[in-house]
C-alpha cells in the first residue's frame, strides 16, 4: 500500500511519487560522467594512466587539470549564451533553429562596424566600408549587432504568433535567410582587424563571465518576474494563459526577440574572441544549444525547466565533448554519439512526462 500523508483540506498525497529536483539529477549525471572518463583513463592501456580532470603531476598548487577545465568551460560558454534564449523559447513549447546562422550573420555585421582604419601603418586590407565606419566606439557595433538580432527575433515571433506558422518551419526559413545574409554581407570574405575595445569582449575568460552573468540575470527573470511566470504559463497551457488575460501573441514575440538577441550577442562574443568574422561561423550551434536545454531537463512539450538546468546541461555537454577527445574518439564517432545522447535525453523526458501523468 502506498505511503500517503494528509494534505490541505483532507487531501492526501503519495510520498513515493515525490522526486528530487531535476537539477540534482543532472548534477549527479555530471559526476557519474566525469567518473566514467576517469575510470577509462586509468583502465584503458593506451591512456597510460592519465587523469581526466585531476592533475597527477607532483604539484601542490592545484589538484585539478586547470587547462582542461578552462577548455571545457570556454567550449560551452558561447553556445551556452544561445542556450539561455533557446531555453525560454522551448518553455513556451516553441523551437528556434535560426540561432546558429544568426551568430554568423551578427558576427559579420558587428565586426564590419568594429574595424580599425590602419593595420601596421597601412590601410586595413579587410575594411568593408569607408573611413566613416572605422575606429568607432565599441558600443556602436554591439548595438548594431543586438538590433539585428532583435529584428530577426521579432520576425520569427510575428510569423509564429500572428501568422500561426509552426515554429519549426518559421525558424528553419530564418535559418536559411541568416546564413544567406552572412555570405552576402562581405561576398563570403572574412571581416577582420577589430579595435582593441571590441576584441576585449571575447578575450581570455570573458565569454565565461558573460555566460555566468547572463545566466544569473535570466534565472532571476524566469523565477521572480511576471515575464517568467507568463512564459511558463503559455508553455503549460496556452489557451488557459490566454483566458487568464495574458497577451500570448505579444509575449511570444518578446520571447523570440530575447532569444535572438542572446544569439546575436553570442555572435559578437565569438567574433571578438576569434578577432575575425566568417560566414561559416555558428555551424551546429543551434543544435548544441537545444541539446544543452534538453539535457538540462527543459521539456520539449513546454512549461517545464529552468535556467540552472540549462547551465548544468551545458556543463554535461562540455564534459562529454572534452571526454570524447580525451579518450581519443574519432570526430565522426563523436557526432554520432552526441546525436544518440540528444535522442536519449528526449526519450527520458517523455518517460518523465508519462510518469507524472
Antiparallel, parallel or unpaired: β 4-6 and 12-14? antiparallel
In a domain, 68, yes or no: yes
Distance CA 303, CA 235 (A): 4
The rounded distance, in Å, linking the Cα atoms of 271 and 177 is 20
Quick one: pLDDT band at residue 50, thresholds 50, 70, 90?
A: confident
Tell me what pLDDT residue 17 has: 54
Alpha helices in 53-161 (DSSP H): 66-91, 99-112, 139-161
Instruction: Work out the end-to-end distance of the chain between its first and last CA atoms, rounded to an integer number of angstroms.
Output: 20
Does residue 2 form part of some domain? no
Q: What per-residue confidence (pLDDT) applies to 9?
A: 44
Percent of the chain predicted with pLDDT > 90: 68
What range defines the domain where residue 134 resides? 22-39+64-356
Residue 357's pLDDT is 59
Reading the block at residue 140, the C-alpha cell is: 556602436
| 283-322: b (≥16 Cβ within 10 Å) or e | eebbbbbbbbbbbbbbbbebbbbbbbbbbbbbbbbbbbbb
- Whole-number Å distance between alpha carbons of 78 and 265: 9
Radius of gyration of the chain (CA): 22
Q: 53 in a domain, yes or no?
A: no
Cα–Cα nearest to 288, from 328, 235, 341: 341
Residue 47 belongs to some domain of the structure: no
**pLDDT tier, 335 (very low <50, low <70, confident <90, very high otherwise):** confident
Reported pTM: 0.91
Answer with the residue of higher pLDDT: 214 or 21.
214
Q: Which band of pLDDT confidence, cut at 50, 70 and 90, is reported for residue 1?
A: very low
Region 266-288 average pLDDT: 96
The vertex-192 CA angle with 190 and 196, nearest 5°, equals: 160
CA distances from 336 to 18, 54, 297, 330 (A): 35, 28, 21, 10
Asked whether 68 and 52 are in contact (CB, 8 A), the reply is yes
Q: Mapping DSSP to helix (H, G, I), strand (E, B) and coil, where does residue 33 land?
A: helix
- Structure-block grid coordinates of residue 264: 546575436
Region 251-271 average pLDDT: 98
The domain tally of the chain equals 1
pLDDT for residue 14 is more than 60: no
Any idea what the CATH number is for the domain that residue 331 is in?
1.10.3470
pLDDT band for 236, please (50, 70, 90 cuts).
Answer: very high
Residue 252's nearest CA partner among 224, 230, 222, 226 is 230
- Classify residue 130: in a domain, yes or no: yes
Answer yes or no: is pLDDT of 170 > 90: yes
pLDDT confidence of 268, banded at 50, 70, 90? Answer: very high
DSSP type of residue 131: G
d(Cα 203, Cα 200) in Å, to the nearest integer? 5
The confidence band for 48, taking pLDDT boundaries of 50, 70 and 90, is: confident
In a domain, 56, yes or no: no
The percent of residues in the chain predicted with pLDDT above 70, rounded, is 91
What's the rounded Cα separation, in Å, for the pair 286 and 261? Answer: 14
Query: How far from 253 is each of 79, 139, 158, 164, 247, CA to CA, in Å?
Result: 22, 25, 6, 12, 10
pLDDT-based confidence at residue 52 (cuts at 50, 70, 90): confident
Residues making up the chain, counted from first to last: 357
- Band (pLDDT 50/70/90 cuts) for residue 10 is very low
d(CA 101, CA 109) in angstroms, rounded, equals: 12
Is 240:75 a contact under the CB 8 Å cutoff?
no
Pull the grid cell for residue 323. Answer: 571526454
- Mean pLDDT calculated for residue range 35-45: 88
Is residue 49 situated within a structural domain? no
Give the pLDDT confidence of 82-100 residue by residue, as tens digits: 999 999 999 999 999 999 9
Is residue 273, in this structure, part of any structural domain at all? yes
Q: Are strands 276-277 and 191-192 parallel, antiparallel or unpaired?
A: antiparallel
When the pLDDT of each residue in the chain is averaged and rounded to a whole number, the result is 90
Q: Which residue has the higher pLDDT, 207 or 328?
A: 207
Amino acid at each position: 500500500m502506498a505511503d500517503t500523508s494528509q494534505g490541505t483540506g483532507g487531501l492526501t498525497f503519495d510520498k513515493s511519487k515525490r522526486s528530487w529536483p531535476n537539477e540534482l539529477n543532472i548534477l549527479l549525471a555530471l559526476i557519474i560522467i566525469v567518473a566514467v572518463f576517469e575510470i577509462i583513463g586509468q583502465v584503458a592501456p593506451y591512456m597510460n594512466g592519465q587523469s581526466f580532470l585531476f592533475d597527477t603531476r607532483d604539484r601542490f598548487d592545484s589538484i585539478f587539470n586547470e587547462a582542461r577545465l578552462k577548455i571545457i568551460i570556454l567550449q560551452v560558454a558561447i553556445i551556452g549564451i544561445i542556450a539561455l534564449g533557446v531555453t525560454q523559447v522551448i518553455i513556451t513549447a516553441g523551437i528556434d533553429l535560426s540561432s546558429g546562422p544568426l551568430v554568423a550573420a551578427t558576427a559579420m555585421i558587428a565586426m564590419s562596424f568594429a574595424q580599425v582604419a590602419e593595420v601596421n601603418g597601412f590601410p586595413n586590407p579587410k575594411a568593408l566600408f569607408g573611413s566613416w565606419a572605422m575606429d568607432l566606439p565599441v558600443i556602436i557595433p554591439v548595438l548594431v549587432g543586438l538590433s539585428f538580432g532583435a529584428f530577426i527575433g521579432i520576425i520569427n515571433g510575428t510569423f509564429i504568433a500572428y501568422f500561426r506558422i509552426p515554429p519549426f518551419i518559421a525558424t528553419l526559413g530564418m535559418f536559411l535567410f541568416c546564413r544567406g545574409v552572412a555570405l552576402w554581407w562581405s561576398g563570403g570574405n572574412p571581416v577582420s582587424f577589430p579595435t582593441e575595445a571590441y576584441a576585449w569582449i571575447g578575450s581570455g575568460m570573458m565569454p565565461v563571465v558573460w555566460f555566468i552573468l547572463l545566466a544569473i540575470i535570466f534565472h532571476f527573470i524566469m523565477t521572480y518576474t511576471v515575464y517568467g511566470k507568463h512564459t511558463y504559463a503559455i508553455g503549460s497551457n496556452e489557451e488557459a494563459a490566454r483566458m487568464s488575460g495574458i497577451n500570448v501573441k505579444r509575449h511570444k514575440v518578446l520571447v523570440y526577440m530575447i532569444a535572438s538577441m542572446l544569439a546575436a550577442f553570442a555572435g559578437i562574443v565569438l567574433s571578438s574572441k576569434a578577432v575575425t568574422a566568417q560566414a561559416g561561423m555558428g555551424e551546429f550551434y543551434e543544435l548544441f544549444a537545444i541539446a544543452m536545454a534538453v539535457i538540462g531537463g527543459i521539456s520539449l512539450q513546454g512549461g517545464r525547466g529552468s535556467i540552472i538546468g540549462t547551465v548544468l546541461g551545458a556543463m554535461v555537454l562540455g564534459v562529454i565533448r572534452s571526454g570524447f577527445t580525451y579518450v581519443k574518439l574519432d570526430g565522426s564517432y563523436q557526432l554520432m554519439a552526441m546525436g544518440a545522447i540528444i535522442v536519449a535525453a528526449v526519450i527520458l523526458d517523455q518517460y518523465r512526462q508519462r510518469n507524472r501523468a
